[in-house]
Structure 1
Amino acid sequence: MDTTTTVSPLRLLDDRATRLFVALAAFFCANAVLAEFIGVKIFALEDTLGIAPLEWNLFGQTGSLNFTAGTLLWPIVFIMTDTVNEYFGKRGVRMISWLAAGLIVYSFVFAYLAIHLAPASWWVGAAKDQGVPDYQTAYAAIFGQGMWIIVGSLVAFLVGQLIDVQVFHRIRARTGERHAWLRATGSTAVSQLVDSFVVLYIAFVLGPQQWPTSLFLAVGSLNYVYKMLAAIALIPLLYLMRAGIHRYLGATRAAQLRQHASED
């Protein structure tokens, strides 16, 4: 006798935990893809804050605090990763990580195709009055990131996410349901130590620019410190999200998800 039961797709979407996962996954992927595309811009932190340049000196290298604009979004990605980890476990994080990586590749493929479409002659010079003499060249420069940078960011992203999920659950196994800030910050500390250096190594050491070791270590260290400070600053947001999720799911359902996630 066949005892298999089927669940209506509409009934499945009525489940609040399912809707929560879909919303978290969508927001995670949107932030990850957007961070890749806006990351082509390098901004000066001191000028942005209106303060005097802080001349750092690390490993024999000096400079001001310049970061990729993608750093605005990566701390949000960390928070989303830890939230999915908390309620949906390792499988949930792996799923959204591979999904985000696939969407990043998909986006770059179509950006590449868009760059190579023949531009309309009138459009090329349409922004001359705004100081952009060749729209096509500007478009290609912004959306056509180098292959080494794309590969480096993708590999670093996936490696960082997979490390994050393992460290998160190791800390959780020791602390139980206490100290959510510790497992979130601890997992970020380890995963981003790897991420910060892997992306630079692939993109700028192995790549055509061939950075010297001192520059690689200096820039990697600065990026890591920035990410950790941002992750610590966002700890209150982590707790706000937890409170909102508990209110949305109800205390009993939230506890069930967290218990299943810890056993994953």
Structure 2
Amino acid sequence: MTEGDQGKLRAVTANTVQTFRYYDFVMAAFVAILLLSNVIGAGKVAQVWLPGYGYWPFGAGILFFPISYVIGDVLTEVYGYARARRVIWAGFGAVLFMALMSWVVVALPPAPDWTNQKAYETIFGQVPRIVFASCCAFWAGEFVNSYVLARMKIWTAGKHLWTRTIGSTIAGEGVDSLIFYPLAFWGAEGFTHALVVKLLFTQWALKVAWEVLLTPVTYLVVGSLKRAEGVDVFDEGTDFSPFRAKV
């Protein structure tokens, strides 16, 4: 979005009463990506061949989990911290419900002629330790990401979007990885301390790299949404407590 485009927007504070056209769609995309990342990629360690080094391990969730941080950046940049906070809590609740229902469905006694129970348990069985680690890491990381971006938007007077998206991701993804990998895998069978540390830093670096690569997409989406909504939200006077749901 150009400086000229920014001048056509109405700058408002986050607590301004406003009806948004696309906020609920962005929320739905955020929750969907979050659930998919937890179902498909959270517990699998894959590997990639690096020339001159060999195989390097990485968590498979890296393929799409960082997209939730990109959407989180879009939410905070376009709609403000308070509305992003509501989405984070919605995602947190969805993950908890998914974990509960996964446990219930796996625990249901299978029919005598159904032979796929073991495979079902392998795919959908939720390890309580990983669920706990994932929820804690998501909650803390997303709020750090949103807080840093909202504060930086005020400091930069709404300019230089790339500094906010990348800076907030460095902080948010750092907190996420620092919480998730030690809580989920430290001392677990098959995970040496060295492997946990390697996965932690690899995931953090790759997630930040994803954010950098997706910066043009972030600019495109943010610019389009701001023009469609007709506002540019600044979090001046916002209560940044994560333990609120009110806008």
Shorter-normalised TM range:
0.7 to 0.9
Q: Alignment partner of 1:45: what SS?
A: strand
Q: Is the 8 A contact 1:169 1:262 kept in 2?
A: no
Cα distance in 2 for partners of 1:177, 1:111 equals 42
2:159 match: secondary structure:
coil
The RMSD of aligned alpha carbons is 2.3
Specify whether residues 53 and 96 from structure 1 end up closer, same or farther in structure 2 by C-alpha distance, changes over 3 A only: farther
Partners of 1:107 and 1:219 lie apart in 2 by 25
| 1:226 pairs with 2:206 | yes
Closer/same/farther in 2, CA of residues 184 and 17 from structure 1, 3 Å limit: farther
Whether the 8 Å CA contact 2:59–2:199 is kept in 1: the answer is: no
In structure 1, the partner of 2:144 is 163
Instruction: Name the residue aligned to 1:84.
Output: 75
Match of 2:26 in 1: 24
In 2, distance between residues paired with 1:53 and 1:151? Answer: 37
Per the normalisation by structure 2, the TM-score is: 0.81
Q: Distance in 2 between matches of 1:53 and 1:30?
A: 38
1:137-152, aligned counterparts within 5 Å? Answer: 137-152=118-133
Q: Which residue of 2 aligns with 1:9?
A: none
| Contact 2:102–2:124 (8 Å) recurs in 1 | yes
Mapped to 2, the partners of 1:53 and 1:104 lie a distance apart of 39
Q: Is 1:193 the equivalent of 2:195? A: no
Question: Contact between 1:115 and 1:144, CA under 8 Å: does it hold in 2?
Answer: yes
How far 1:228 sits from its partner (Å)?
Answer: 1.0
Q: Select between 185-194 and 238-247 the one with higher mean Cα deviation.
A: 238-247
Once the two structures are superposed, what CA deviation does each residue of 1:210-246 show, in whole Å capped at 9, x if it has no partner?
Answer: 9554333222111111111111100011011023213
User: Residues 78 and 226 of structure 2 are in contact (CA less than 8 Å); yes or no, is this contact kept in structure 1?
Assistant: no
Structure 1 match to 2:161: 180
Per the alignment, residue 64 of structure 2 pairs with 73
Q: Which of 104, 114, 126 is the aligned partner of 1:113?
A: 104
Q: Who is 1:44 aligned against?
A: 47
- Cα deviation, residue 191, structure 1: 1.1
Q: 1:228 to 1:82 in 2, by over 3 A?
A: same
Gaps of 5+ in 1: 1-14, 56-63, 125-134
SS in 1 for 2:46: strand
Larger fraction in helix: 1
Which residue identity does 1:243 align to in structure 2? Answer: G
Structure 2 vs 1, CA of residues 232 and 202 (structure 1 numbering), >3 Å: closer, same or farther? same
Q: For residues 17 and 169 of structure 1, what CA distance do their matches in structure 2 show?
A: 20
**Structure 1 counterpart of 2:12:** none
Work out whether residues 78 and 222 of structure 2, in 8 Å CA contact, stay in contact via their aligned partners in 1.
Answer: no
Q: How far 1:66 moved relative to its partner?
A: 2.7
C-alpha distance in structure 2 between counterparts of 1:223 and 1:235, whole Å = 18
Q: 2 CA distance for matches of 1:209 and 1:101?
A: 28
Larger relative contact order (CA 8 Å, sep ≥ 6): 2
Q: Secondary structure of the equivalent of 1:191?
A: helix
> How many residues align structurally?
221
Overall identity of the aligned pairs, in % = 26
Kindly provide the amino acid, as one letter, of the partner of residue 37 in structure 1.
Answer: V
Q: Distance in 2 between matches of 1:208 and 1:68?
A: 15
- Gaps in structure 2 of 5+ consecutive residues: 1-16, 239-247
Structure 1 residue 68: Cα displacement: 2.6
The offset of 1:120, in angstroms, is 2.4
Q: Measure, in 2, the Cα distance between the counterparts of 1:67 and 1:140.
A: 23
SS in 1 for 2:174: helix
- State which structure, 1 or 2, has the greater radius of gyration over its C-alpha atoms: 1
